[in-house]
Amino acid sequence: MPELALKVRVERSGFTLAVDTALALTGITALFGPSGSGKTSLLRIIAGLEPAAHGQLRFDGERWSADGRRPPPQQRGTPMVFQDTRLFPHLDVAGNLRYAERRADRHRPGPVRDEVIAALDLAPLLPRRVPGLSGGERQRVALARCLLARPRLLLLDEPLAALDLQRRAELLPYLEKLPVLFGIPSLYVTHAVDEVARLAEQVLVMANGRIVASGETAAVLERLDLPQLTGLPETGALLDARLRRHDPALGLSELELAGQRLSLPQVDAAPGSRLRLRVRARDVALAREPVAASSIRNQLRARVLAIEEQADGPFAEVLLALDGGDELHLRARITRASARELQLSPGQPIHALIKSVALDGEPLAQEL
Amino acid sequence: MDYGPLWLSLRLAGITTGLLLLLGTPLAWWLARSRARLVPVVEAVTALPLVLPPTVLGFYLLLLMNPGSALGGAWLSLTGDTLSFSFAGLVVASLFYSLPFVVQPLQSAFAAQDHGLLEAAATLGAGPLDRFLTVASPLALRGYLAAAVLGFAHTIGEFGVVLMVGGNIPGRTQLISIAIYEQVETLNYAEAHRWSALLLLFSFLTLLLVYTVNRRSLPRVA
């Protein structure tokens, strides 16, 4: 497992990036934060594309300069998937792939051409010219091109950001299976928390040019101070659940979470499989007593772990642990007024109410 | 009709264009990509032949090529021939005179390129020369075409500079433009007409070919 240590600094007018951290690279590591927080700059420093950067990197025991001089980008083994794909317009798809393949270090292990083409379903695209490809197709080719360069570390800079929702949904499964398939450590820049939840094993949270939080994805995403740290309002929690059964007549699926049930619009997975589910904090309501005669289908028994009230806003975020599963956490976003009326305090039993429709279309990662 | 001056002009234009593409490429690349403070200075020097009267350029070139000067003297002892009033001298003069017509199209072609493609190539393992040859150059194909045609046509059309540097020696420095001038001076209008019409047709056909090819086979690169 290669280790990446960064001690780098860039100063531009009105913006300073200063990062001093070390992490073990395994699977996909997300670099997460709002626009302008320095995620892309950090990725470019690692690739050796930021001549104005100062400092040092250490990758897998090698010393790299932050300004991209020693070693230069072409000797780092860190191919980058860009948001705007950057396919070579004067070559066809096969030519773009060959470009990377020919320049790959033969002494490095890496996926072979046929594997990559099969994994990304590129066979029909090979003779096509770049200008005729759709956004999703371009990004698949860009991904394949980088894989054929035999990466030591794969860098992905918001690869889904320029795509519409449907193309995004088409591309996500490819991104998801890559680390498993080829065992290449990846750094994935995004400002979409859904992508972090679905793809990343660990996450570095950036804001204002600094790393403000890091750790395992589930633990970081349920931190109550995440909205304050990142300025991103969309908070939530990850739940690992088992699919119990489908109810095709009503179009619902039922999940099991430490003995409790959660129903949601039918998902495409076999009963018994394990699923990862992200529940947004704003979709969770709280009640002291079980609610009778309600349209809300899911009522989970839980305990309050912590409460964080906004200093000057109307909201409070409450972290909960489900009964029977200390590892299963939920977050609820309620008003400060409700928090006072419910007299919430740590350790207090509570009922978490989740509308099934709120879970419709949520990212569900099937664990392999 | 004596075709000597025409062949000499074509040879001069061919050699000059070839040399300028070789020498102008790194210069244009540097002008397009560098942020050095020297860039505007070099840019201005490169563009001088556009605004300078050809006689001024010719005069200084003549001084430079004089056997008494450093360059002219070195050339004489090296080749046994003077640089002024020779074909080699014409090539040197044309290199200066047509420089902006080759460098400027190349420079704007390089400057218009998406730098991101070169970054992508770098992260895929391509070194600087590799990136230049396999990404920047193919994408600058239109620029190369424009540079070659403009350099060639402009060299064919040279008059003032070549007259001052090369004189009017048949078979050695008598180019088509000078031959026409001589026919007009000696009131031989019929001959002047033939050469002028030929040159006009040649120039038009060259440009027509370029614009046709440019439109048809080169995909627009976004």
**What domains can be seen in chain B, in order of their start residue?**
4-216 (1.10.3720.10)
Q: Do A210 and A260 share a domain, yes or no?
A: no
- A contact test, residue of B33, B35, B115, B123 with most A CBs within 10 A: B123
Q: Do A313 and A343 share a domain, yes or no?
A: yes
**How big is the A-B interface in CB pairs under 8 Å?**
73
Q: Do A208 and A115 share a domain, yes or no?
A: yes
Neighbours of B218 (CB within 10 A): 12
**Domain boundary pick from A193, A209, A230:** A230
Give the model confidence (pLDDT) of A97-152 as tens digits: 999 999 998 888 888 899 999 999 999 999 999 999 999 999 999 999 999 999 99
Q: Do A319 and A247 share a domain, yes or no?
A: yes
- B contact test, residue of A67, A85, A90 with most B CBs within 10 A: A90
Is B129's Cβ below 8 Å from some Cβ in A?
no
pLDDT > 70 in chain B, percent: 95
Cβ-nearest to B124 among A84, A99, A129: A99
Neighbours of A86 (CB within 10 A): 22
Give the model confidence (pLDDT) of B34-63 as tens digits: 889 999 999 999 999 999 999 999 999 999
Q: Do A61 and A195 share a domain, yes or no?
A: yes
Q: Do A253 and A215 share a domain, yes or no?
A: no
What's the sign of the alpha-carbon dihedral B35, B142, A98, A156? positive
User: Residue B120: which pLDDT band, with cuts at 50, 70 and 90?
Assistant: very high
Q: Do A179 and A280 share a domain, yes or no?
A: no
User: With contacts defined as CB-CB under 8 Å, which chain B residues touch A100?
Assistant: 124-125
What average pLDDT does this structure show over A296-306?
Answer: 89
Q: Do A252 and A225 share a domain, yes or no?
A: no
User: Residue B221: which pLDDT band, with cuts at 50, 70 and 90?
Assistant: very low
Give chain A's domain count: 2
Q: Do A312 and A223 share a domain, yes or no?
A: no
Q: Is the peptide bond before B219 cis (omega within 30 degrees of 0)?
A: no
Q: Do A203 and A273 share a domain, yes or no?
A: no
Give the model confidence (pLDDT) of A211-242 as tens digits: 999 999 888 887 767 776 776 666 778 888 88
CB–CB contact B123 A84 (8 Å): no
Angstrom distances, CA of residue B197 to CA of A320, B7, B201: 91, 16, 6
Q: Give the pLDDT score at A224.
A: 65
What average pLDDT does this structure show over B7-14?
Answer: 92
A contact residues 84-143, partner B, Cβ 8 Å cutoff: 84, 86, 88-90, 99-100, 103-105, 129, 131
Rounded Cα distance, A162 and A136, in Å:
9
Phi, psi of B158 (to 5 degrees): -55, 145
Q: Is the pLDDT of residue A12 over 90?
A: no
Higher pLDDT, A359 or A285: A285
Q: Give the pLDDT score at A76.
A: 94
- B contact test, residue of A50, A64, A67, A74 with most B CBs within 10 A: A74
Q: Do A226 and A241 share a domain, yes or no?
A: no
Q: Do A112 and A146 share a domain, yes or no?
A: yes
Of A185-189, B1-5, B88-92, B183-187, the range with the lowest mean pLDDT is B1-5
Q: Give the pLDDT score at A274.
A: 80
User: With contacts defined as CB-CB under 8 Å, which chain B residues touch A146?
Assistant: 123-124
Q: Give the pLDDT score at B220.
A: 44
Cβ-nearest to B116 among A47, A82, A145: A82
**Domain boundary pick from A230, A254, A277:** A230
Structural domain of A80: 3-230
Give the model confidence (pLDDT) of A311-357 as tens digits: 788 888 898 998 887 778 888 888 988 888 888 889 899 999 987 77
Is A52's Cβ below 8 Å from some Cβ in B?
no
User: With contacts defined as CB-CB under 8 Å, which chain A residues touch B119?
Assistant: 47, 49, 73, 80, 82, 86
Q: Is the pLDDT of residue B1 over 70?
A: no
Q: Are A92 and A129 in contact (CB under 8 A)?
A: yes
* CATH number for the domain harbouring residue A349: 2.40.50.100
Higher pLDDT, B116 or A163: B116
Of B31-40, B80-89, B185-194, B203-212, the range with the lowest mean pLDDT is B203-212
Higher pLDDT, B107 or B220: B107
List A252's β-bridge partners, or say none. Answer: A247, A265
Q: Is the pLDDT of residue A20 over 80?
A: yes
Angstrom distances, CA of residue A98 to CA of A90, A147, A160: 13, 11, 24
**Domain boundary pick from A176, A200, A230:** A230
User: Residue A368: which pLDDT band, with cuts at 50, 70 and 90?
Assistant: very low
Q: Give the pLDDT score at A290.
A: 85
**Which 3 state secondary structure label does DSSP give B151?**
helix
Give the model confidence (pLDDT) of A49-98 as tens digits: 999 999 999 999 999 999 999 899 999 999 999 999 999 999 999 999 99
Q: What is the ipTM of this complex?
A: 0.78
Q: Is the pLDDT of residue A366 over 60?
A: no
